[in-house]
Structure 1
Amino acid sequence: MKFNHIGIPTTGSFEGEIPVPHLKITCSDHKNNPYGIQWMRYWDDAPYPELVKTVAHIAFEVDDLEKAIAGQTVLIAPNSPSTGVLVAMIEVNGAPVELMQIDRELRPDA
């Protein structure tokens, strides 16, 4: 696994807001700082578990998402938020963890 970012939920506005309507979130760019900090505001009708909407998550890149989530408590099933990126959210010791499989040929920028 390789660290990608930390997502911190908030209910307030923040600098550099990026609305993502198909995910019903507003986020910041985790690449605009050397530590991968990403602010996340979930819209009122965002269909995610409360744990995901209220507790910070850490995201790791994995080579094989299906293998990485096998036997885990899955909070959000594998889905593709953008071209070349497949993600899932699991629960580990009461905290959400995002696992990401990135096709670097399709997404060298991710």
Structure 2
Amino acid sequence: MRYHHIGIPTQTPKDGEVFLKDHDVHCTDHESNPYGIQWMRYGDKCNLPKLVKEVTHVAFEVDDLEEAIRGKEVIIEPNSPSEGVTVAFIVENGAPIEFLEFAHKQKES
């Protein structure tokens, strides 16, 4: 597991937001700052779990998404929000955790 970003829910519009129509979410680019902060503003039609919309989540890049979620309480099943990436969310001790697996990543030998 490698730290990827932290997603912080907000109701305040932020500079550089991108709108994800399929989820009714506005989010900033976590690469726009040195700490991996991604601001998440959820719309009224957003169907993501309440926990994700209200509690800050931490995200980790993993080599094997299925292995990372095995035996965990999955609240968002594996899905591909954009080409080349598959994500899923679990709950750990009351907090949402996101895992991301990138298709283009080559395994280190």
Determine if the TM-score, normalized by the shorter chain, exceeds 0.5. Answer: yes
**Contact 1:5–1:60 (CA<8 Å) still a contact in 2?**
yes
Aligned to 1:98: 98
Aligned to 1:108: none
What count of residue pairs does the alignment treat as equivalent?
A: 105
Q: After superposition, what is the alpha-carbon deviation per residue over 1:21-40, rounded to whole angstroms, capped at 9, x for unaligned?
A: 12221000100011100000
What is the TM-score normalised by the length of structure 1? 0.92
Superposition CA RMSD, Å? 0.9
Aligned to 2:5: 5
Aligned to 1:34: 34
Query: 1:104: Cα distance to partner?
Result: 2.3
Q: Percent identity?
A: 54
Cα distance in 1 for residues equivalent to 2:71 and 2:38: 28
Structure 1: unaligned runs, 5 residues or longer:
106-110
SS at match of 1:67: helix
Farther off after superposition, 64-73 or 16-25: 16-25
**Contact 1:23–1:81 (CA<8 Å) still a contact in 2?**
no
Task: For 1:38-53, list aligned pairs within 5 A.
Answer: 38-53=38-53
The structure 1 segments of at least 4 consecutive aligned residues displaced by more than 2 Å after TM superposition are none
**Contact 2:6–2:58 (CA<8 Å) still a contact in 1?**
yes
Structure 2: unaligned runs, 5 residues or longer:
none
**Alignment-mate amino acid for residue 90 of structure 1:** I
Task: For 1:51-90, list aligned pairs within 5 A.
Answer: 51-90=51-90
What is the TM-score normalised by the length of structure 2? 0.93
Q: After superposition, what is the alpha-carbon deviation per residue over 1:30-67, rounded to whole angstroms, capped at 9, x for unaligned?
A: 00011100000111111111100000000000111011
Cα distance in 1 for residues equivalent to 2:17 and 2:64: 31
**Alignment-mate amino acid for residue 76 of structure 1:** I
User: Aligned pair 1:25/2:7, yes or no?
Assistant: no
**Alignment-mate amino acid for residue 96 of structure 2:** P
